[in-house]
Amino acid sequence: MKESDVAAFTISAVDDPRTLNKAVHLRPPGNVYSMNELVGIWESKIGKNFEKIYVPEEELLKKIKEAPYPDNVEMVFIYCAFVKGDQTYFDIESSSGVDGTKLVGLEFAFVPPRIVVEDWCWWFSFGGSGLLLGSCWF
């Protein structure tokens, strides 16, 4: 999603009484992509395939348990976000949160992630060192 979409939405949501004392989640339709899907979009746009190293869930969990704190913290976040999908697939408790994309009167024409990633390709160049998404090199 473009930063301007998030900013416009946030400003509108702040003034909405339905969001008072609640966590506002922004979940526009078509906004959930896996890391592999994002990398695939990027690869197709630049015409280059990146070397990928797949780590099985069991191996990542083993590395998390073996690494001392705080060295394992980044791996815990990677596991929660990219393996378990903890930032995406959860129910919103109506007593403490609201899905802002379902609030009537706060409709926005969100730019889909595919277009955002394609736009990023104009701003980055690759010299063979890989692709940085979040904190993961590809």
Res. 18: pLDDT tops 60: yes
Give Dmax over CA atoms of the chain in angstroms. Answer: 50
Name the band, by pLDDT with cuts 50, 70 and 90, for residue 127: very low
pLDDT in tens, 58-92: 999 999 999 999 999 999 988 888 788 776 767 88
Tell whether the model's pLDDT for residue 124 goes beyond 80.
no
Q: Where are the domains of the chain?
A: 3-137
What is the C-alpha separation between 98 and 125, in angstroms, rounded?
A: 39
Per-residue pLDDT tens for 103-115?
766 666 677 777 7
Question: Distance of CA 6 to CAs 111, 131, 132, 134, Å?
Answer: 10, 24, 22, 18
Given this model, what pLDDT does residue 106 score?
60
Could you tell me if 71 and 65 are in contact, meaning their C-beta atoms sit under 8 angstroms apart?
no
Instruction: Please determine, for residue 14, whether its predicted confidence score (pLDDT) is greater than 90.
Output: no
The C-alpha atoms of residue 100 and residue 23 are separated, in whole angstroms, by: 9
Say which CATH topology domain 3-137 has. Answer: UDP-galactose 4-epimerase; domain 1 (3.90.25)
